[in-house]
Structure 1
Amino acid sequence: MTAAPARRAALTLVTGGSAPQREAAIAARLAASSAAGLCAVLLEGLPSGQPLLSPSHDLQVHRIAPGCLCCTGNLVLRVTLNRTLRLRPDWLFIGLAATDHLDQLRSWLQDPPYDQLLELTADLHT
């Protein structure tokens, strides 16, 4: 008897607008969703003013300093993503400040080991 394949977290890349606009788009998506389970959010950029997303039992929120997550921020993204994936979230959002290397980032997220852990969904544009 073979084991069932591991459940992959649904990953949505969030692009466009400012950091607060991306955070608002994620908050709206979560509010409109009936998704149960753990959700995790990795936001590139710091909040301006009052953050819209606050960590809770069902929501993990991580902020990454602005910078290209494909290039200069790659190590920080990998470490944060790996720590987050250990919690086995059902849904994961990554808010991106720039889309210059979006195709490279998307490709990287579809390579091993992330191909077995993540299922990319349609991007959310603000």
Structure 2
Amino acid sequence: MSPGVSAPDAPPTLLTLVTGGTGSAREAAIAAALTPATSTATSAAIIAEGIASGTGPLDTHLRLHRIAPGCMCCIGNLTLRVTLNRILRNPPQRIFISLATDTHLPQLQKFLASAPYDGLLSLTDPIICSD
């Protein structure tokens, strides 16, 4: 387990990858997937690739982390790991990761299903957006 990551006896955090479409479309899909129980800062966290459009539907009270544009499987992997480890210190019920493309979706899923995340995260089916 990575330093600072939650205890292994905690229930796994649901993680959903959201890809395709525009940043606004992905944020709208995340907003639609949030339920009243998972729409607070303690129950949901979002890692979004890229800069905010300024018109996104996500509430400002959510734990929203922006990562510079770039493949989170390749050049953005270290930043993703650091951000994810910080989130998992106080794990929410749900995490959404917004990706511009699904180019390396299988590799990212494999990474998230491997140690140390295999006992901390439970991957759901990805949400694929269109423009």
Tell me the TM-score range normalised by the shorter chain: 0.7 to 0.9
**Runs of at least 5 residues in structure 2 that lack an aligned partner in the other structure:** 1-7
Hey, what does 1:95 align to over in structure 2?
98
Q: How many residue pairs are counted as aligned between the two chains?
A: 119
The one-character-per-residue Cα deviations of 1:37-76 (angstroms, maximum 9, x if unpaired) are: 51000011112123322342xx211111110000000011
Give distance in 1, aligned partners of 2:16 and 2:119: 16
Give distance in 1, aligned partners of 2:67 and 2:57: 16
For 1:105, give the aligned amino acid.
Answer: L
1:111 aligns with 2:114: yes
Hey, what does 1:35 align to over in structure 2?
37
For 1:22, give the aligned amino acid.
Answer: R
Give distance in 2, aligned partners of 1:51 and 1:23: 6
1:52 aligns with 2:54: no
The one-character-per-residue Cα deviations of 1:11-55 (angstroms, maximum 9, x if unpaired) are: 11101101111011101111xx24345100001111212332234
Percentage identity across paired residues of the two chains: 52
Corresponding residue to 1:68 among 68, 71, 84: 71
Whether the 8 Å contact between 1:6 and 1:116 is mirrored in structure 2 is: no
Give distance in 2, aligned partners of 1:14 and 1:111: 19
Please give the root-mean-square deviation of Cα atoms over the aligned residues, in Å: 1.6
For 1:120, give the aligned amino acid.
Answer: L
TM-score scaled by length of structure 1: 0.87
For 2:28, give the aligned amino acid.
Answer: A
TM-score scaled by length of structure 2: 0.84
